Structure 1
Amino acid sequence: MKAAVVNDFKEAPKVSVIETPKPAANEQTVHVLAAAVYPRVRSQANGTHYTSTGELPFVPGLDGVGQTEAGQTGYFITSNAKYGALAEQAVIDHHRFIPLDNGIDAARVAAGMNPAMSAWMSIKVRVGELTGKKVMVLGATGAAGQMAVQISHYLGASEVIGVGRNQTKLAALSELGATQTISLRDDQESLRVAFTAAADVDVVLDYLWGTAASTAMKVMLPARQNHSQQLLWIEIGSMSGADMVLPSAALRSVNLNLVGSGQGSINARQYLAELPELAQLISVGQFKIASTTMPLTELNETNWNDVTKRVVYTMN
């Protein structure tokens, strides 16, 4: 079969013909329809991600859309360290396949599921009903943050405040449903004023953590008009730092509910229940995600390290 293969961590993957994988007892074969390349896939391919085993060669790719041997279309997350998603076939754990309608737009779903999943599951599992609530998205200019803005708006948030550094992308957030934006490039006084004005939000979807979250919290918590009103702060990513200093009084003087959301904290049944609806919405174009689609056979001619693009490779 044709597959993108990593033979050297210092070189980009190249398409070549390799042996078709055989599933183990707990695995099944998936005929891949589409799989995306994004920063996490690149860190897998160059061996810099903490999950890297250092073993070569292997096929990169963390998720995609494919069909089982029985013809069922679905979204899958890879589980085999040697055979990833950027191939004509992949082998995956039975529990990492989510059945979808056979008419799904495979390329759109492959492009959008990874960045959309974190916000969708955080809201569905951690928040529940979002209608009428005020939401802040910390890190709203990244791919996942832009999806979080759109999903919050779609699920009925009364206000969506996007916070980020990229001025161009901040300016475009209003088209995605943001009612207000805050630039982290502003001076400290401007940030204090902006976060004070936004202090009474109900939910924060935090893709940044670190210094950005610390700056926001230290202003917002004491500025809340009703300290007994719950603020649900959901930690999703750590682009601004893995650690944050939070004064203990913040947890005693304000009704702050600080929780995390990620694959390790949400069980498989919840993913199975919630993701088919998200996939369908992505498939019909409800949420915008910038991507380029091309056949896998053209991978060798593309710039693998171009981080400005989310490329979806199709296998037919």
Structure 2
Amino acid sequence: MHAAVVRSFGTPPRYDTFATPADSAPHEILVDVLAAGLHPRVRSAADGSHYTSDGTLPLIPGIDAVGRTQEGELLYFVAPDTALGTMAEHAVVDRRRAITLPAGTDPVAVAAAMNPGMSSWVALRRRVSFKPGGSVLVMGATGNAGQLAVQIAKHLGADRVIGAGRDPRRLDLLKSLGADEVISLDGDGDGDGDEVADRLGRTAADVDVVIDYLWGRPAQQAMPALLKARTDRSKALAWIQIGSMAGQDITLPSYLLRAANLNIMGSGQGSLATAGILAELPSLAEEIASGALTVDPLPMPLDQVEQAWSAPTAPGQRIVLTP
């Protein structure tokens, strides 16, 4: 079969031939892949930097996809953590990690949105007891997952959603997606971050949940700014760490954990059981298929995978490879 193949962690995948995998267990089936999203998680696996990477080469990238069975059933599935990913003409599907999609579902839209949408959907439904009427701050709201997080928080009943990010064009877009307010994380140029901290404290001090795709310096600025400005510091603030686009580490002063009710947690592989994540997929897929969430996929043929790896995207777009 043809596939995107990584033979060196220092170079992008190439369109190449690869042995067609075989379904070898009772719960496995071979499907024709229709669409596979090029997510940040896919890129980090392809360059060997993701924390789950074991260095195996060659590998086919891709962590999820939409495929069709020989009987015509349309499936969304999550690939196991092996070197055989989803960016190929065919893939083996573990039926325990797959859901059936309604007839007429757009495979490209589902492939584009399920992975980035899953992060905030699962976080708000599984990691915290989020209730309608609550408030959410999305750190890194100008990224693809962050834009979906703004929509999902509103969809799940948030009374107030605040989006924080750096790109001014994407910040403006957030208001059309449901953000009540936006905060620029661009500093004042003197390096101390006081202006950013002041904006965060004035605008988002009393939120109930922070969904954080950034970590690094923005999180290090935001935590003390929010907690010091809180009307009631004993009111719980759930900080859900999902991504680290701005840095892998922060310095966390110990007093913050004593002076306020700050609950820091992660949401991702390992912090949630696979069964818990999979249980949330049908409801999210339904919202995507119905058009309740705005999705902007950029489909590209699989044989253009090298170009896709560096192709520019507009705000809110996600590249989807179609075999």
Same fold (TM over 0.5): yes
Contact 1:167 1:183 in 2 (8 A): yes
Secondary structure of residue in 2 paired with 1:119: helix
Matches of 1:69 and 1:83 in 2, distance apart?
Answer: 20
TM-score, length of structure 2 as denominator length: 0.88
Q: Give the conservation status (yes or no) of the 8 Å contact 1:3–1:15.
A: yes
Call closer, same or farther: CA 1:4–1:229 in 2, change over 3 Å: same
Equivalence for 2:200:
195
Deviation at 1:45, TM superposition (A): 3.2
Are 1:207 and 1:238, in contact at CA under 8 Å, matched by a contact in 2? yes
Residues 291-302 of structure 1 aligned to structure 2 (within 5 Å): 291-299=297-305, 302=307
> Equivalents in 1 of 2:274, 2:46: separation in Å?
26
**Displaced runs of 4 or more, over 6 A:** none
1:303–1:227 Cα change, 3 Å: closer
Deviates more, 1:13-22 or 1:151-160: 13-22
Superposed CA offset, 1:42-84 (max 9, x none) = 3333444454444443322221111345544222122263422
Instruction: Name 1:133's counterpart in structure 2.
Output: 134
Quick one: structure 1 residues 252 and 67, their matched pair in 2 at CA, closer, same or farther if it must change by over 3 Å?
A: same
Instruction: Give secondary structure in 2 for the equivalent of 1:238.
Output: coil
Note closer, same or farther for the CA distance 1:228–1:6 as it changes in structure 2 (3 Å cut): closer
The answer on whether the counterparts of 2:34 and 2:66 sit within 8 Å (CA) in structure 1 is yes
Does the 8 Å contact 1:105/1:284 carry over to 2? no
- Per the alignment, residue 24 of structure 2 pairs with 24
Which residue does the alignment assign to 2:260? 254
Deviates more, 1:159-168 or 1:268-277: 268-277
CA distance in 1, matches of 2:37, 2:195: 38
Aligned to 2:310: 305
Match of residue 273, structure 1, among 274, 279, 282? 279
Tell me the equivalent position of 1:96.
Answer: 97
What is aligned with 1:73?
74
Residue range with higher mean Cα deviation, 191-200 or 150-159: 191-200
| Structure 1 unmatched ranges of 5 or more | none
Q: Which amino acid aligns with 1:264?
A: G
The residue correspondences of 1:1-316 to structure 2 (distance < 5 A) are 1-25=1-25, 27-69=28-70, 71-79=72-80, 81-187=82-188, 188-197=193-202, 198-299=204-305, 302-308=307-313, 310-315=318-323
Please state whether the residue corresponding to 2:270 is helix, strand or coil.
helix
**Change in 2 beyond 3 A, CA 1:102/1:225:** same
Secondary structure in 1 matching 2:218: helix
Instruction: State the secondary structure of the residue aligned to 1:66.
Output: strand
Identify the range of structure 1 (235-244 vs 148-157) with the bigger mean alpha-carbon deviation. 235-244
CA distance in 2, matches of 1:60, 1:19: 15
Cα distance in structure 2, aligned partners of 1:290 and 1:89:
25
Structure 2 spans left out of the alignment, 5+ residues: none
Q: CA deviation at 1:145?
A: 0.8
Distance 1:22 1:158, change over 3 A: same
* SS of residue in 2 equivalent to 1:265: coil
Partners in 1 of 2:38 and 2:136 — Cα distance?
Answer: 29
Q: CA deviation at 1:303?
A: 4.3
After TM superposition, give the deviation of residue 132 of structure 1 in Å.
0.9
CA contact (8 A) 2:300 2:308 kept: no
Give the TM-score normalised by structure 1.
0.89
Q: Is the 2:4–2:61 contact (alpha carbons within 8 Å) kept by the matching residues of 1?
A: yes
Tell me how many residue pairs correspond in the alignment: 314
Report the residue type matching 2:104 in the other structure: G
| Partner SS, residue 291 of structure 1 | strand
Once the two structures are superposed, residues 168-213 of structure 1 have per-residue CA deviations (whole angstroms, 9 ceiling, x without a partner) of: 1112110111111111113334323322222111111111122211
Q: State the one-letter code of the partner of 2:163.
A: G
The root-mean-square deviation of aligned C-alpha atoms, in Å, is 2.3
> Following TM superposition, by how much is the alpha carbon of 1:40 offset from its aligned partner in structure 2, in angstroms?
3.0
Structure 1 stretch 241-250 or stretch 13-22: which is displaced more?
13-22
Query: Residues 246-297 of structure 1, C-alpha deviation per residue, up to 9 Å, x if partnerless?
Result: 2222222212222211121222332232111111211232222332124434
CA distance 1:227–1:8, shift in 2 (3 Å):
closer
Residue identity in the other structure for 2:64 = D
